Amino acid sequence: MRRTPQPGFRWLCRVSAVAMIAVLPSARALAAEVPEPVLAAEQSRIEAIARGARAAVAIFAGEAGGGSGVLISPDGYALTNFHVVQPAGVAMKCGLSDGRIHDAILVGLDPTGDVALVKLVGRDDFPCAELTDSDLVEVGDFCFAAGNPFLLATDLKPSISVGIVSGVHRYQFPAGTILEYADCLQVDAAINPGNSGGGLFDARGRLIGVNGRASFEKRGRVNVGVGYAISANQLRNFLGFLKGGRLVDHATLGATVATDEDGRVVISDILESSDAYRRGLRYDDEIVSLAGRPVRTVNALKNMLGTLPAGWRVPVVFRRAGRRMEAVVRLAGLHRPTELAQIVAAEEAEPQGPKPDGAPPAPRPTPATLPEAVKGLYEARSGFTNHHFNVLERDRVAAGIAASAASAATAGVWVMSGRLDSGGAFRIELSDTRGVIDLPTGTSEVDATGELDADPGPPGSGGMLAALLLWRRLLLTGPAQLGRTSYWGTQPRDPAALGEFASPDLVDVLETAAAAVEARFAVAADGGVIGIELWPVPDADPCDVRLTPRPDGPPCLPAVIEVRHGDSRFGTFQIDEIRFEPAVPQPAGETS
C-alpha cells in the first residue's frame, strides 16, 4: 500500500530544498575549485569507457540466448566465449553501440579455454580494442567490464560495471565440463550472466581480458563480487590458431606432478612417448620453471600450461639431485584431435532448453541456411572449425613469402657455399631433381623427385637436405604446389627465450605433408622463412633447421643455417655465397 505524505511534510521538503540551493555553490564555481589533474583524470576515464563501449559486441544466438563479445580488429574479428557461441552454431547476429546489427560467422574455437573467435561483416572500419600485456596488471588496478548482462542491451548499448582487479594468476578447475580457466584475472566489477565473452578493460581502455566466469549467490544468478576473465596474454597465444579456423587444443607436459614432503613440485609420472621424456625429464625431477615462469606449486604449473597451445616448444628448468638442468620441450595436446571434435559435437548436440513459452528451441543454422551475408565464409572440414579462414591465412602468408622471394630467388640450381663453425668448407646444391651437400666428412645426395623420407641425409642431421629441398620448392612455387599445406598457427620466434618477455614475439607457421614427410615452416612478418622442422618419421625428433637472414639482404636468403636434431647440434653453416645457375637439361631417358 502506497503511503501519502502529509501536508506538513511537503512544506518541510520545500523549505529544505530552498535552503540547500542557497548554500550550495554554483556548478561553475564548484568546477573552478576542482584541481585540474582531477578533472583530467575524470575526462580520461570517460574517454576510456567510451572506447571500451564502442568495441563491445552484443551477441544474440536466436532463441538460445546470447552474451557479449569484444572487437579486436578493424576488419571485424571479435573474441567471445565458446559457451556463448555454442548454442548459435556457425552464424549469429551481433549488435554494436551505434545501434547497428551485423551478421557474424564463427571462425575458430578453443573449447578447453572457453574462447571463440567470430568475424562481423559489413564494413572494414569497426571500432576495436587494443590487446595489451595482462602480465603487467596488478591487484588494485582499476578495471571495467563492457557487455550485455541479462541481455539488457536491447538498444545495443553495453552495460558498464567498474571495479578493481582483486586477484591475478587464478586457476579455476573444470567443473563437470572441459572448460578450464587458467592464469585468469579476478575482479570485483560486476560480472553477471550475459557478460560472458565481453571485454575487461584497464584504465586506458585497453583490453586486459575476456570475461567468462563468475561466482554467484546460491539462491539466484546474482553476482557476489567475484568474476574471472581470461587473460589477454593467453588470448594472444591462441589467436593465430583461432584466426586460422582451427579447433585448437591446450598443452600438457606429458607428465603429472605432485608436491613432495619438502614442498618441491616433482614429476610423479611421465609418458615415455612424450617429448619431455625424450628431452631427459624423469620421475622425481623437480620442476623449477616452465616457459620462463617459476613453478612453486602444482597449480602454478597447471596455470602456465593452461595458457599455452599444444605443439609449442617451451623452456623447462628442472633439478635432479641438486643439479640444475635445462631443456626445450614440445608440449603435447590435452586431447586427441578426434576426441576434441567429439566433445564439441556432444556439447552442440545437448538441448538448450525450451523457450519461455514452452516451445522447443529453434534449430541452429546449417551451412545451407546461412544468412546471405556470410554464406561464402564457411567451409566444414575435419579438424577445423571453419576451413575457409585457414585458406585465407595460408594465402596471406604465402603472399608474403612470394613477395620476399620475387626479386632474389630464381628457378634453376641453387648453390650455397661457405665454412662450418667447426672448421672446413661446405657446398650445398639444390635443384628440382636433387639435393647434394659436400662436407669435410663426405658427400650426401637426396633424390628430389622421390619420397624424401627414404634418405634423411646427411647422416646425423635428421633430414637437412630434404628440409632445404622443400624450402626451395616453397619459395619458388608457393604452398599450393608444395603439397597438402595449411596454416598451422603462430609460435614463438625463439622458444628458448620464451618468458624473458611477457609478450613473446610470435611468427606464422605453415604445415605441410609432402613427399612422405611432414614439415612446418616458421615465417617472419617480412615473408622470410626463418625455421623449418621436418619429420621423416612421425612422433620422433624432427630435423630443426634455423635460417638467419642477411641484415642487408633479401629476407628469403640466409646468411647462417643452423641444424639440430634432438638434443644435438649437427652444424652451423656460415654462408659466404649463394649462386643461381641454370638447370642442365637431362638427356632423354636419363636421370641424375
Dihedral angle sign, alpha carbons of residues 129, 130, 134, 140: negative
Q: Shortest CA distance to 97 belongs to which of 159, 161, 157?
A: 157
Q: Are 416 and 438 in contact (CB under 8 A)?
A: no
b vs e for 254-266, b when ≥16 Cβ sit within 10 Å of the residue's Cβ?
bbebeeeeeebbb
Q: Which of 68, 97, 196, 231 is catalytic?
A: 196
d(CA 349, CA 86): 10
Sequence-distant (≥ 6) Cβ neighbours of residue 151 within 8 angstroms: 58, 60, 65, 66, 194
Indicate the pairing of strand 77-80 with strand 91-95. unpaired
SS3 content of the chain, % helix, strand, coil (to 5): 25, 35, 40
d(CA 183, CA 494): 23
HSE, CB side, 13 Å, CA atoms: give it for residue 301: 23
Q: Which of 102, 103, 110, 114 is catalytic?
A: 114
d(CA 526, CA 508): 11
d(CA 61, CA 86): 9
Q: Are 178 and 298 in contact (CB under 8 A)?
A: no
H-helix or E-strand spanning residue 44: helix 36-55
d(CA 229, CA 50): 20
The values of phi and psi at residue 549, to 5°, are -75, 160
Q: Are 124 and 143 in contact (CB under 8 A)?
A: no
d(CA 95, CA 60): 8
Angle (deg, nearest 10), helices 464-477 and 387-405: 90
Q: Is 114 a catalytic residue?
A: yes
Write the DSSP symbol of residue 364: P
Write the DSSP symbol of residue 299: H
* Residue numbers annotated as active site: 83, 114, 196
